[in-house]
Structure 1
Amino acid sequence: MRFIMQTAINMAVFLACALLFPNGFILENMTVAALAAIVLTILNRLLKPVLMTLALPLVIISLGAFSLIINAALLELTAYFVPGFAFTSFWWAFLVAVLMTVANLIFMDQTRIEMRRQ
C-alpha cells in the first residue's frame, strides 16, 4: 500500500511541476508521468538507502540538506531511464526534489487507512 501511495504522490508532483515549470521540466504525457513515478519509487526503495549510507558523513555535516542532492540525483537517474521525462538542468531537478520532499512530508504521514465494516 505504501508503494502505491508513494507512486501516486510522485506522479501528482510530476504533473504539477510540468504545469508550473514548463521551461525546466519536460514531461510528455500522463503515461510518462506514471512510468517515471514507478521508476523513481523503485529507485527510492533500492538505491536511496545505499546512497544515504555512503553519503552519511555529508548528510550529517550538512544537517540533512545533502539528502536533497541525493533526491535530485535520483530524479536525474529516472530521467535517464524514462524517455519523455527530462530536466533542462540539475537545478530544475533539485527544485522538483524539494517540492517532492515537501509533498512527501505532508502526505506520507497519512499511512494509516482504517476500514470499518458495518
Structure 2
Amino acid sequence: MLRFILQALVTALGLWLSAYLVPGVEFLSTGSLIAAAVLLGLVNAIVRPILTFITFPLTVVTFGLFLLVVNAATIGLTAMFLGGFVVGDLWAGIGAAVVTGLVSWMVGWIVPDERRVERE
C-alpha cells in the first residue's frame, strides 16, 4: 500500500509538471490532480497491459515508439473519466506521457526499489 501511495505521489508530480509545461493539459483543482494520479495508477495497472498486448505488433514495427501513444491513451482515458482533468488532444497526451514518464524515471533512479534491492 505504501508503494502505491508513493507511486501516486510521483504520478501527481509528473501530471502537475505536465500541466505546467504542456499546453492542453489542465487541472481544475488540487483534488482533481490527486484523483487523476490515483485513477491513472489504476488505469495503468488494469488497462495499459491489455493495450500493450493488443498493440504489440505495432510497437515492434515502430521500435517501441507506439508505447507513447498507448501512454497518451491511458492519460486521455483518465481525463475522460475525471471531470477536473483536461487533456486537449493526442499531442498534449503524448507530451504529458513523456513528462510523467521522465519524472517517474528520475524518481525511480533516485529512490531505490526495495524489491529490486532484495533480488540483487
TM bracket, shorter-chain basis: 0.7 to 0.9
Normalized per residue, the structure richer in helix is 2
How far is 1:91 from its partner?
0.6
**Contact 1:18–1:26, Cα closer than 8 Å, also in 2:** yes
What are the equivalent positions in structure 2 for 1:1-118 lying under 5 Å apart? 1-21=2-22, 23-109=23-109, 110-112=112-114
1:39 maps to a residue whose letter is L
Q: Provide the aligned C-alpha RMSD in A.
A: 1.6
Partner SS for 1:26: strand
Q: Which moved further from structure 2: 2-11 or 79-88?
A: 2-11
Deviation for aligned residue 1:60: 1.1
Q: CA deviation at 1:18?
A: 2.1
On the 8 A contact 1:25/1:87 being kept in 2, the answer is yes
* Structure 1 unmatched ranges of 5 or more: 114-118
- Decide whether the 8 Å contact of 1:59 with 1:67 is kept in 2: yes
Describe the SS at the equivalent of 1:108. helix
Q: Residue 112 of structure 1 aligns to which amino acid in structure 2?
A: E
TM-score, normalisation: structure 2? 0.85
Equivalent pairs counted in the alignment come to 112
CA distance in 1, matches of 2:88, 2:56: 28
Q: What displacement does 1:108 show?
A: 2.6
CA distance in 1, matches of 2:108, 2:4: 11
1:43·1:74 contact (CA, 8 Å) conserved in 2? Answer: yes
2:76–2:93 Cα contact (<8 Å) kept: yes
